[in-house]
Amino acid sequence: MENPFKFGSLVDAPYFTDRVKELEYIIQFLKSENHLILISPRRFGKSSLVRKAVLKTKRPYLWLNMQAVLSKEDLAAKLLKALLNQYKFEKIKYYLRNFRVVPSVNMNPMTDELTVSFQPSSDNGMTAIEDVMAMLQKVSTPDNKLIVVFDEFQSILEVDKNMDKQLRAIMQEQIGVNYVFLGSQESMMTDIFECVKSPFYHFGMLMRLSKIPYDDFKAYLTERLSSVTDSEELVADEILAFTSCHPYYTQELAFAVWNNLLLGKQGNVMQLSVDEIIATHDLDYERLWLNFNKTDKYVMVSVSMGNNPIQDRKLPTSTMTSAVLRLTKKGYIFRSDKYEVEDPFLQRWILKNVVD
């Protein structure tokens, strides 16, 4: 029997649940002339959701992971490569003639894989970016509008500190292309899109993604667990109690629990599965812990215990506040109705190794 849970990469049916309203909303939104910004903590399912919506529109799209972009020339090359993969080369190669900086485009005849590059230039690749972006607009047609998704968009400022200003200057002139910006670092993304001084201030509609609702996730788990247990409802409740409905960690834990039930493991299978997962991350957690400073550790313990670190009176509020900000920025904790440790397995590790 194949394990019915999946985690780590983008998911679609049969591993995709809920998000019905969000999906409908994004599809509808992409029919407008507006741009979309989607923010959530790490691994909530942004990329999966947007990819599903984009595929549903059946329109051409480019998907660019900004984390993988090394320089401005590289951004221009990756955009152009994605574009050449999306449209028939014969139909659009004509536009390349207008480029002021000539790209090198090669096709590997064995694999059909394209390689695209721009030589380093004195303007650090800005002309190349302008030319490629101009081409995006030209190939896009009103009845088959191009969608351009920038995943992990907050990394843009690591490519170049003026990149936001320069990109925005190009994009604001464009019509007939839908841009979608995804980001997992809440604070960086809000700095880019909600800070009045930022070039991308109010550039599009900002949407936040929450965890998957309890009842829906429970139904998803119950249906799949029933192949290995008669207490599927109980097990589903236990899994969700541990993961608080976090999409990724729920799938990760359900995967392990399902496996152990299939193998006929006895005793407390939940505990066993949690311990197994923690054991695989033990070294990483230890390294992470050693790199935290004293206040960070204090905050992580406080949040792990379910407390609000800011109200903790043991250290000055300003010290705690800046540690909370730093840890939120790095994604170790996030705020829903209260502060939470992003990774429930790390939380358990802290409670076991540091608090006990």
Q: Which residues pair with 107 in a beta bridge?
A: 114
Total interface residues for ligand ATP by CB under 6 A: 24
Task: Judge whether 299 and 324 are in contact, CB under 8 Å.
Answer: yes
With residue 286 as reference, give the H or E element that holds it. Answer: helix 269-291
9 binds ligand ATP (CB under 6 A): yes
On the question of a cis peptide bond just before residue 316, with omega within 30 degrees of 0, the verdict is no
CA dist 128 and 122 (Å) reads 11
178 binds Mg ion (CB under 5 A): no
At CB < 8 A and 24+ separation, what contacts does 310-319 make? Answer: 319/295
48 binds ligand ATP (CB under 6 A): yes
User: Residue 134 or residue 219: which is nearer to ligand ATP going by CB?
Assistant: 219
Among 4, 11, 189, 245, which residue interacts with ligand ATP (rule: CB under 6 A)? 11
Q: Which residues pair with 341 in a beta bridge?
A: 333
At CB < 8 A and 24+ separation, what contacts does 267-276 make? Answer: 269/235, 270/235, 270/238, 270/239, 270/242, 274/242, 274/345, 274/348
16 binds ligand ATP (CB under 6 A): yes
Of 14-22, 72-80, 112-120, 136-144, which part binds ligand ATP (CB under 6 A)? 14-22
User: Residue 73 or residue 238: which is nearer to ligand ATP going by CB?
Assistant: 238
Measured from the CB of residue 63, what is the shortest distance to ligand ATP in angstroms? Answer: 12
Measured from the CB of residue 149, what is the shortest distance to ligand ATP in angstroms? Answer: 11
User: Residue 47 or residue 295: which is nearer to Mg ion going by CB?
Assistant: 47
User: Residue 17 or residue 47: which is nearer to Mg ion going by CB?
Assistant: 47
Residue nearest to ligand ATP (CB): 45
At CB < 8 A and 24+ separation, what contacts does 104-108 make? Answer: 105/80
25 binds ligand ATP (CB under 6 A): no
Of 36-44, 101-109, 170-178, 338-346, which part binds ligand ATP (CB under 6 A)? 36-44
The position carrying tokens 């608080």 is 244
250 binds Mg ion (CB under 5 A): no
User: DSSP letter string over 127-158?
Assistant: HHHHHHHHHHHHH-BTTB-EEEEEETGGGHHH
The binding site for Mg ion (CB under 5 A) comprises 47
Applying CB under 6 A, which residues contact ligand ATP?
6-11, 15-19, 40, 42-48, 184, 212, 247-248, 251
